[in-house]
Amino acid sequence: MGMVGGGRGAFIGGVHRMAAALDGQIELVCGAFSSRPEVSKASGQDFFLPSDRVYGDYLEMITREAELPEGKRMDFVAIVTPNHMHYGPAKMALEYGFHVVCDKPLSFDMEQAEELQKLVKKTGLIFALTYNYTGYPMVKQARAMIAHQEIGKIRKVVVAYPQGWLSTLLEASDQKQASWRTDPSKSGIAGAMGDIGTHAENLAEYITGLQIIKLCADISTIVKGRRLDDDGNVLLRFNNGARGVLYASQISAGEENNLQINVYGEKGCLIWKQMEPNTLTVKWLDQPTQIYRTGVGNLYSRTNDHTRLPAGHPEGYLEAFANIYRNVAMCIKARVLGEMPHDKYIDYPNVDDGVRGMKFVYAVIKSGKSTDKWTEL
């Protein structure tokens, strides 16, 4: 793995490195870890990389890595920069024949997203997006139960992602994460909806297997002086006729990362909460409530495929993140060996999910500014 971004002072870069290393299938071999060459070099020393594999920028990294012999050069690039820096290295990596793992959202704007989508299809390379909540075992269980019609036709989806960390004008203090996430020149057209609303949208579509086709959004900037939205409520309509509600907020004081989803079918309801990730609650129309736990009982094979630890040992954020990296690694390894990867590994968010996420953001912002009731994706 080569990495773009994620150097000293970065949060998500460390998450990516830990997740990639968890299964022992991926080695960090090079990087351009910062837009400042001196920080990139210092970060490379932190990671014990040889100086000739630490680069001043992604242009140098991709060009020079492509010149190395197969077996020594990197196999794929992990892009862990702010939103406005996703497109450049992703496009160049694909053009030079490297697979890509990119943090979400896919790009800064829709034009870039659609160009990357075309490039992935043209090259046939692997492109994974770290909508990491899809990696949880109980999310896989919920998806499998719905696919097997256990709760019947889906009628209603309620998904919420409340945070409270931006309840004040934190960006005024030059806090790094707050500064770029609330800056439209770096984050794009959306704040909370682009940052965490897309996670909620992706989770709803992944678990249900449905797609949002229309929405009606009320988008707000609550904290005075902030330049992007920090709170939003969205009514959803899905392609099977189901209705939904999506709430994403970064000014819900006291909340941490309280992502949760309720999916209501004709026969029952599935409830999953990210802060209690090993549990899936199933409420039935005509039976007692059931509690499913990771590693316990007769679970679907896809659930067990993404479970590492025996029951009672909590698996969480890093393990879910690592499931995406492991699956990508196994698919790349299969290509190197000229084999077909096992179906269980072809389970990671891809460029098409990224484009849908961007379409969701654009539709939400358009709807929030419009007097029309419904906006099509």
Instruction: Determine whether domain 2-129 maps to CATH 3.40.50.720.
Output: yes
Q: Would you kindly state where each structural domain of the chain is located, as residue ranges?
A: 2-129, 134-310+355-376
> Which residues does 137 contact at the CB level (< 8 Å), separation at least 6?
278, 294, 299, 303, 304, 306, 307, 315
Cα–Cα distance, 47 to 49 (Å, whole number): 6
With beta carbons less than 8 A apart as the criterion, state whether 141 and 292 touch. Answer: yes
- What is the per-residue pLDDT across 333-375, written as a single tens digit (0 to 9) for each? 999 999 999 999 999 999 999 999 999 999 999 999 998 889 9
With beta carbons less than 8 A apart as the criterion, state whether 316 and 294 touch. Answer: no
Cα–Cα distance, 70 to 247 (Å, whole number): 47
The CATH code belonging to domain 134-310+355-376 is 3.30.360.10
Strand ranges in the chain using DSSP code E only, listed in sequence order: 2-4, 30-32, 76-79, 99-102, 127-129, 154-162, 212-220, 231-238, 243-249, 260-265, 268-273, 279-284, 290-293, 375-376
Sheet containing 127-129: order of strands: 30-32, 2-4, 76-79, 99-102, 127-129
- How does the average pLDDT of the chain come out, rounded? 96
Q: Position of tokens 């012999």?
A: 69
* pLDDT beneath 50: ranges in the chain: none
